[in-house]
Structures are given as C-alpha cells and as structure tokens.
C-alpha cells in the first residue's frame, strides 16, 4: 500500500498542504494519507500514526525530505523504524526510493546537508538577534505563563490541582508551580 504523509508548520501554509496532498494523490496515495499542521520540532502525531500504520511491503511517500524529518538523527530513526518493518520510503522532490542502494546512500547524504543548512540558518538567526539586542530593537517573546499568574492563583484558591490549572490555561505544570511558589514567597 502507498501511504502518504504531508506536513506544514503553520496554518498560514494551508495552500502548501493542499499542494502536497494533490502531489501525493497524483502519485497513487489514495487509500491512506496522514496530514498535519505542526512544527517539525513539535510532537508530530500524524507522522507517528503513519509510522505505526505502515506494514511490511508498504511504501511511505512524502513530497520533500524536510516535511518528514528535522535532523539527520531524526531521519536515521525514521528510516530505521521503516526498515525494521519492511517499509520503503519515497521522497518525490528528489526522485528518491530507499528500495535501492543508491537511494539509501543519497538519503543519508541529503539528510546531512539539510541538517548543515539548518544549523547555518540558526546561526544567522542568533547573530541577527544579538545585533538587534545590541541596538535595543529586540525585546524577545513576552512570557505567556507569567501573564496568567492572577488566574493561576485564583484557580488554586478554588482547590484545583496544578495539573488541572495547567490544562485549563494551556500552560505547563511547571509554570503553574513556579507561579505558585513565587506567590507564596512574596
């Protein structure tokens, strides 16, 4: 069975997701396609579901390598999981098929190059942030959990446990504990 996987990082990229889905359908992925809108560094639930769904003899198809993995280590883990299940991997933009020795070699080489490119981009980003800070133009992200401190204290006063407060406000449990500790220290 041909199994498709498509991913975009943000909701603003829905046209990109639709394009990936069209390309997967044109390749023959019509029975099972997994798609999601999430950053590559976040939990990719649909990718996990696709990897779980794959069975021996299946082929997982993605349009581009960066839609599948975030680093060489991630690529190696995914391809090893597919290999142990007897599942092939095809990356359409590269005309790459891991059922061939050349395909396997090219996949590893391209994964290394992609990781190197990402590291360079992150380095440039850090340099830009440092320059903006030096010029007084960069403030950073506003802390979200601390803005919710009054609501955290109010919910705690009703007897709600930290886990429930965190879930209700969409913040981490450690943020709830930190806010409560700061409140009791004050």
Q: Strand 2-8 vs strand 32-37: parallel, antiparallel, or unpaired?
A: parallel
- Angstrom distance (rounded) from CA 76 to CA 80: 6
DSSP H or E run through 9 = none
112 catalytic? Reply is: no
Q: Strand 2-8 vs strand 59-62: parallel, antiparallel, or unpaired?
A: parallel
DSSP secondary structure string for all residues of 108-132: HHHHHHHHHHHHHHHHHHHHHHHHH
Encoding tokens for residue 154? 């109010």
Distance in angstroms between the alpha carbons of the first and the last residue of the chain: 61
Which residue in 9, 93, 172, 174 is the catalytic one? 9
Catalytic sites, residue numbers: 9
């Amino acid at each position: 069975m041909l199994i498709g996987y498509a991913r975009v990082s943000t909701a603003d990229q829905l046209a990109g997701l639709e394009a990936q889905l069209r390309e997967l359908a044109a390749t023959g992925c019509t029975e099972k396609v997994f798609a999601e809108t999430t950053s590559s560094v976040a939990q990719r639930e649909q990718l996990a579901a696709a990897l779980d769904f794959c069975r021996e003899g299946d082929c997982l198809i993605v349009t581009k390598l960066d839609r599948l993995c975030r680093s060489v280590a991630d690529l190696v883990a995914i391809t090893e999981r597919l290999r142990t299940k007897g599942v092939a991997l095809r990356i359409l933009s590269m005309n790459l098929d891991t059922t061939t020795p050349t395909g396997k070699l090219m996949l590893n080489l391209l994964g290394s190059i992609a990781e190197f490119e990402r590291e360079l981009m992150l380095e440039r980003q850090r340099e830009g942030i440092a320059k903006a800070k030096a010029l007084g133009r960069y403030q950073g992200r506003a802390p979200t959990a601390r803005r919710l401190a009054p609501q955290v204290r109010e919910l705690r006063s009703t007897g709600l446990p930290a886990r429930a407060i965190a879930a209700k406000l969409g913040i981490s449990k450690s943020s709830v504990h930190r806010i409560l500790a700061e409140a009791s220290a004050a």
